[in-house]
Amino acid sequence: MKEILTGAQALIRALEHEHVEVMFGLPGGCILPAYDPLIESRIRHILVRHEQGAGHMAEGYAHVTGKPGVAMVTSGPAATNLVTPLCDAYMDSIPMVGITGQVPTAAIGTDAFQECDTVGITRSVTKHNELVMSPQDIPMVVRQAFHIATTGRPGPTLIDLPKDVLQNTMEWYWPGDDEVLDSLPGYRPNVKGHPKMIKEAARLILAAKQPVLYVGGGVLKARAADGLRELAELTQIPVVTTLMARGAFPDSHPLCLGMPGMHGTATAVTAMQKSDLLIALGSRFDDRVTGKIAAFAPDAKIIHVDIDPAEQGKVRRPDVPIVGDCRLVIEELIKVLKGMLQSGEKQADVGPWRSRVSGWREQFPLAYDQSEAGAALKPQFCLEKLRDGAPDGTIVVSGVGQHQMWASQYWRFEEPYTWVNSGGLGTMGFAVPAAIGAKVGRPDRTVWAVDGDGCFQMTAQELVTASLEKIPVKIGILNNSSLGMVRQWQEMFYDERYSEVNLSGTLPDFVKWAESMGCVGIRVEDPQEAEAAIDKANSINDRPVVVDFRVEETEKVFPMVPAGQSNDDLILHESQMARREFLK
């Protein structure tokens, strides 16, 4: 006999069938019916203080678990508050399912209270979205949303549910895999790379004298870190990990050159520039990596592995395009390479290239000046202390700006899924909620958010959520009383004409604010205090901790390639500028 459920009951049951363990959200008028059956559900719901927080928490959760994050909010302003996280997830290919309430079907189009065109607004920031017009469709739409969000190039999907669709009844069913596929005749991601192209890639790899593995976030999405390591060690090819791929390859590995791009290491940037073969794995030739595209890696042939065919040739035309899942393609590539080597083919000698690269690495390590006695802390110093004090396996989350670049530069990432940040969209305020989502996904790990004082003030209220829900994240604010990256650009490119970058050195009082939200607040003003404060923060596990590091305002991030310029024109720390010629 068929079971009759309301649309709302069907929604919650469908989410349970999709193995959703936790969702982040905030109820309101049109989504109210869905919050009723939630009371009986085994799904944990985390009540946020702002819908944007729900979205970023879902992203943080997805980053560290690989499972789709779920955010549920109501219609109108709640839906528009979810737009930023959806766009963020779209840019960084994060699997996420957004669920929004909508005004009753009869009211759609009448400018009803809290009505907005959610599917219209979110169309360009989701992989797919759907306005559900009948409760009978709910199980299928939920299955489609999860299937689309998690397969191919992952991304956010959105389900918009009018209130009457949640209230009316349907006959429960649960569609099988074949039915889902049949219902999506236009959606068939290609995961297996073309054997001929893989063969051709192997040939180029064996012939290359100055190859570089250019590793992007796609390697993490495909859970291909083990394969990557085997490929790098087999061929002895140096590896750069982009901002989205930090942790995909251990920073301590002798083949690891660190992060490329605008604030990448001199070695990573230069190795790509001088390379004769870039093996791009799940990376997308982002402008922050390539600098001026016409001057980027001018002598390099390109092998481009990406699951999204539209990335092939979007920025740089590949010599060998391979559309497929990074893990499967890397595994095939290793097989083919081993076969070729066993049948007597020889790899070109990459020894001279590796010694040249090592020379750069010795000459151009990351550098900063320690603070003088009595002066403010250096942000890089704080990061080194945080890094050295952190337990193994700590997950680092960051906001956007200088602190993000320093975190990426100075942390030593040893394993995948320990770095969470907003790469593509550059969403200030990402860190606090994303760290909460990450800690929910990995309660066994220490989660440190490295934040800026500007970013923190955008989403800090979610620490109330963290305190009440017993999610003990740790936040280190690199507080330079300004919008640091903007300040850096104004100093360097706008003749030190500072416009609207000062955030006040006195307000807010971050320690009091933290305490008022149920967190432990600690202020660090002297380098001598840093270690003890960090140890104290690491010892607290029953509530969130906020450490307010008062850092030097004028500190800038180096190396730097100014926007739109060639990666050959790297600006280094001043102690290294004199020997810049060595990079030519």
Partner 1 sequence: MSGNNPFGQDSQHHVLSVLVQNRPGVLARVSALFARRGYNIFSLAVAPTEHPDYSRITIVVDLASAPLEQMTKQLFKLVDVVRISELDPKHSVERELLMATVKVSPEQRGQVVELTNIFEGKILSVGTDALTISLDGSPSKIDDFMALLDQYGIVESQRTGRVALPKLDRTTKLRAVKTPKGGAR
Which are the catalytic amino acids?
51, 113-114, 163, 485
**Near partner 1 by CB under 8 A: residue from 175, 426, 508, 562:** 175
Site track 284-303 with partner 1 (rule: CB under 8 A), x = hit: --------------------
Contact between 151 and partner 1 by CB under 8 A: the answer reads no
- Measured CA to CA, the distance from residue 488 to residue 508 in angstroms comes to 22
DSSP assignment letter at 111: T
H helix and E strand count, the chain: 25, 19
Contact between 509 and partner 1 by CB under 8 A: the answer reads no
- With beta carbons less than 8 A apart as the criterion, state whether 338 and 234 touch: yes
Q: Which is nearer to partner 1, 176 or 443 (CB)?
A: 176
**Near partner 1 by CB under 8 A: residue from 139, 261, 282, 476:** 139
- Measured CA to CA, the distance from residue 558 to residue 574 in angstroms comes to 9
**Near partner 1 by CB under 8 A: residue from 39, 111, 185, 372:** 185
Phi (first) and psi of residue 385, to 5 degrees: -65, -45
**How many Cβ atoms sit within 10 Å of the Cβ of residue 349?**
10
Q: Please name which of 286, 290, 324 lies closest in space to residue 305, comparing C-alpha atoms.
A: 324
Smallest distance, Å, CB 71 to partner 1? 20
- With beta carbons less than 8 A apart as the criterion, state whether 168 and 6 touch: yes
- Measured CA to CA, the distance from residue 547 to residue 474 in angstroms comes to 8
Q: Which is nearer to partner 1, 315 or 540 (CB)?
A: 315
Secondary structure string (H, E, C) spanning 501-527 = CECCCCCCCHHHHHHHCCCEEEEECCH
Neighbouring-strand partners of residue 157: 97, 128
Q: Which is nearer to partner 1, 312 or 481 (CB)?
A: 312
**Near partner 1 by CB under 8 A: residue from 29, 37, 66, 309:** 309
**Near partner 1 by CB under 8 A: residue from 141, 161, 307, 395:** 141
Q: Which stretch binds partner 1 (CB under 8 A): 292-300, 307-315, 372-380, 458-466?
A: 307-315
Smallest distance, Å, CB 163 to partner 1? 19
**Near partner 1 by CB under 8 A: residue from 41, 151, 168, 183:** 183
Sites for partner 1 among residues 78-137 (CB under 8 A): 119-120, 123-124, 127-128, 130-132, 136-137
Peptide bond into 559 cis (omega under 30): yes
**Near partner 1 by CB under 8 A: residue from 182, 299, 345, 509:** 182
Residues binding partner 1: what is the number (CB under 8 A)?
32
- Measured CA to CA, the distance from residue 187 to residue 462 in angstroms comes to 37
Smallest distance, Å, CB 138 to partner 1? 8
Q: Please name which of 21, 86, 22 lies closest in space to residue 465, comparing C-alpha atoms.
A: 22
Contact between 173 and partner 1 by CB under 8 A: the answer reads yes
**How many Cβ atoms sit within 10 Å of the Cβ of residue 242?**
27
**Near partner 1 by CB under 8 A: residue from 1, 40, 186, 294:** 186
Smallest distance, Å, CB 124 to partner 1? 5
Torsion of CA 409, 412, 413, 414, to 10 degrees: 160
**Near partner 1 by CB under 8 A: residue from 93, 100, 144, 459:** 144
Smallest distance, Å, CB 87 to partner 1? 12
Binding residues for partner 1 (CB under 8 A): 119-120, 123-124, 127-128, 130-132, 136-137, 139-141, 144, 148, 173, 175, 179-180, 182-187, 308-310, 312-314
